[in-house]
Structure 1
Amino acid sequence: MCEAIWNCLLSDCMPLSDAAEWSGIAAEFQHLLAFPNCLGAMDGKHVVIEAPPSSGSLYYNYKGAFSIVLLAVVDARYRFRLVNIDAYGDGGTLTVSAFGSALRQSSLRIPEDSPLPGAEHLGTMPYIFLADEAFPLCRNILCPYPGHNTGEKKVFNFCLSHAQRMVECTFGILAAQWRVYRRVLGVSLEVAEKIVKATCMLHNFLRKDVLTAPAPTLTTEPSLGMQNAPRLGTNNASRDAAAVRDKFAEYFISPAGRVPLQDRY
């Protein structure tokens, strides 16, 4: 049944995006969360399972349980756009995922670089995915500045966290709606992966025709995400990726990119 749900609804509820659809997702992030050129918020969720037979510590995670990892990219309306279920717990989930491979090979049909609204002087900027510090910084993945920051770096971290928490909210909705996430999955790895895929698809099915959705407000402190999780990749960013992040930071302190209440927080 889980496999049938995934196969039958895939083309309608989680289709492969082209440049036009990616642009629509970016427009919603700009409108609802004031983050331009954003194609989605990305994070991983541990789904607790029983220890597979003869697996040793292969599926053992930093939380002290056995799990598989749901790596997901969500849009500004709490919908899954890309999901990857990894059977090996932590350690390089993004690197070994189909999404990570497609991103490296430039096969995601991401739109061409374009200027940020009202900030043409910064030049053209790439379309990016938002992630927390557990992920590697690269040209198409923006992560927060590490350590204690002040000034424009602190503002940037706030704006990124505000938009990136959409994926945390989506995971919360998923876990609250499907009770299977409230217990340990006592099934085989193959069945566990099918269950996770089916619940993600049904989550999107219930939101397929939703035209409006409340966006998170800037009235609470930004969440810190998986700040204590092991790194999914190296944070030795290239100069190009670091320059992209610096330009976004410059944008958010400019009149064109300033977000309400950011100075307060």
Structure 2
Amino acid sequence: MLAEPSGEFDNFVRMSNSDFEFLIQKVSPVVAKQDTDWREAIPVKIRLALTLRYLATGDSFRSLHYLFKISSQLISRIVPEVCLALNEALKDFVKIPTTTEEWLSKAERFKFPHCLGAMDGKHVTIQPPPHSGTEYYNYKRTFSIVLLAIVDYDYCFMFAEIGAQGRISDGGVFNQSSISKKNSENSINLPPPSSLPGCDIDLPYVFLCDGAFSLTKNLMKPFPGRHQLNSPERVFNQKLSQSRVVVENTFGVLSNKFRVFKTAMPFHPVKCSIITMTCVLLHNFLRKSRTSRPLYAPPGTFDTYNDSGELIRAGNWRNCSNTSFLPLQNQPRRSTNDAIQIRQAFMHYFYNNIE
């Protein structure tokens, strides 16, 4: 396939040949095996191609056995091993800002003022772990681990944390995350609150989320329920949705390009977390690659909006949206008075500046 000019290999592993060779160099020191007197070791390029093909298709090990002529038992060992090596090689491709200036550069590209990123969480379906009881049993009556992520304006992950048990309440997933703990300790250097044009109070910088999260001074979610057309609440929800849709698009593309998410992963939850993080890192790697970006996310992949925020064309990923990703469950939560006042201030700002 590499020798053919058809480009089939690029689609086979979801990346360009140059990026494939780059990854070979990165993982070789970790996954390369020595030949013995009894048999020759499986080459690194075969191990990497096998792993990338599994992530791209989610095929059973038996199906991959027929394709690569490697036993199913060995495939089940190769995939986590290569994924662990990829995680170490690509770990810098998902990096949360650490300075105020870096946060402000992210906020400049969102149409929602003071928006630092869009946050969402998904249940990643796994096969029932042995002797785990209801530890990973979620509200949809399946077994899962939770992927919590923050996405920037360019559909890239800034933060991803994986592995929370599916039984944990959706609010607890964020409260137990490292980003929540760092925020409470004021160690992630968020920009200080500042005023908006026509607003007489200082408003904090926020992450946009949906109803599954609690409303806080740094987490902004829509007003619940239905609202009349052009009402202040409706206008606010529309503005929030127009910027938060980047995380919906990112998860949609991730699950369609890496179809391992379309079935329950047949690994222990720890290995499922490693595999999920590999897909997240590869997503950013391919989005930022000059040669693989057009292959991974060609024009039309994401939703297209006009300057006023109206949807012009739905992204191509929506045509194949079947996925084992499950959304976090929306639950009513009591909010602090400060958070309510901040949302009200954003609402009045948008309503008073309707174009």
Same fold? TM cut 0.5: yes
**Partner letter of residue 114 of structure 2?**
N
Instruction: Tell me if structure 2 keeps the 8 A contact 1:43–1:72.
Output: yes
1:24 to 99, 105, 111: 105
Map 1:48-59; keep pairs closer than 5 Å.
Answer: 48-59=125-136
Among 337, 345, 350, the alignment partner of 1:239 is 337
The 1:216/1:254 distance shift into structure 2, 3 A limit, reads farther
Contact 1:41 1:131 in 2 (8 A): yes
Distance, in Å, in 2 between the alignment partners of 1:20 and 1:185 is 39
* Residue in structure 2 matched with residue 87 of structure 1 by the alignment: 164
The residue aligned with 2:117 is: 40
* Equivalent-residue separation in structure 1 for 2:215 and 2:342 (angstroms): 10
Q: Relative to structure 1, is the Cα distance of residues 37 and 209 closer, same or farther in structure 2, using a 3 angstrom cutoff?
A: farther
The 1:209/1:115 distance shift into structure 2, 3 A limit, reads: farther
- Give 1:228 deviation, angstroms: 7.7
Give distance in 2, aligned partners of 1:50 and 1:166: 29
Query: Counterpart in 1 of 2:350?
Result: 252
- Larger helix percent: 2
Name the CA distance, whole Å, in 1 between partners of 2:195 and 2:83: 42
The whole-number CA distance in structure 2 between the counterparts of 1:61 and 1:103 is 27
Cα 1:189–1:109, aligned 2, differ >3 Å: closer, same or farther? same
- Gaps of at least 5 residues in structure 1 are 260-265
Which structure shows the higher strand fraction? 1
The equivalent of 1:263 in structure 2 is none
Pairing partner for 2:146 from 56, 59, 69 = 69
Letter in 1 for 2:130: P
Q: Residue 274 of structure 2: SS of its match in structure 1?
A: helix
Percent of matched pairs sharing the same residue: 36
Partner of 1:129 in structure 2? 207
Higher RCO (Cα < 8 Å, 6 or more apart): 1
Aligned AA for 1:251?
Answer: Y
Q: Alignment length, in residue pairs?
A: 245
Query: Does residue 2 in structure 1 map to residue 102 in structure 2?
Result: no
Q: Give the Å deviation of 1:16.
A: 3.2
Shift of 1:114: 2.0
In 1: Cα distance, 2:226 partner to 2:253 partner: 31
> Residue 190 of structure 1: SS of its match in structure 2?
helix
The 8 Å contact of residues 215 and 221 in structure 2, kept in 1 or not, is answered as yes
Does the 8 Å CA contact 1:133/1:227 hold for their aligned counterparts?
A: no
C-alpha displacement of 1:37:
0.6
Task: Call closer, same or farther: CA 1:181–1:133 in 2, change over 3 Å.
Answer: same
Q: 1:219 aligned to 2:314?
A: no
Q: Name the CA distance, whole Å, in 2 between partners of 1:227 and 1:179.
A: 17
- The whole-number CA distance in structure 2 between the counterparts of 1:57 and 1:216 is 41
Q: TM-score w.r.t. structure 1 length?
A: 0.85
Partners of 1:40 and 1:73 within 8 A in 2: yes
Equivalent position of 1:208 in the other structure: 288
Report the equivalent of 1:262.
Answer: none
Decide whether the 8 Å contact of 2:203 with 2:342 is kept in 1.
yes
Alignment-derived partner of residue 179 in structure 2: 99
Which residue of the partner structure matches residue 229 of structure 1? 329
Report the Cα offset of residue 82 of structure 1.
0.6
In 2, distance between residues paired with 1:5 and 1:28?
30
Q: TM-score, normalised by structure 2?
A: 0.64
Residues 207 and 218, structure 2, Cα contact 8 Å, conserved in 1: yes
Considering only aligned residues, what root-mean-square deviation do their CA atoms show, in Å?
A: 2.5
Structure 1 residue 236: Cα displacement: 1.4
Q: Does the alignment pair 1:114 with 2:194?
A: yes
- For structure 2, the residue ranges without an aligned partner over 5 or more in a row are 1-81, 294-298, 315-325
SS at match of 2:160: strand
| Partner AA of 2:329 in structure 1 | A
Q: Are positions 1:148 and 2:240 aligned together?
A: no
Relative to structure 1, the CA distance from residue 230 to residue 51 in structure 2 (aligned partners, 3 Å threshold; closer, same or farther) is farther
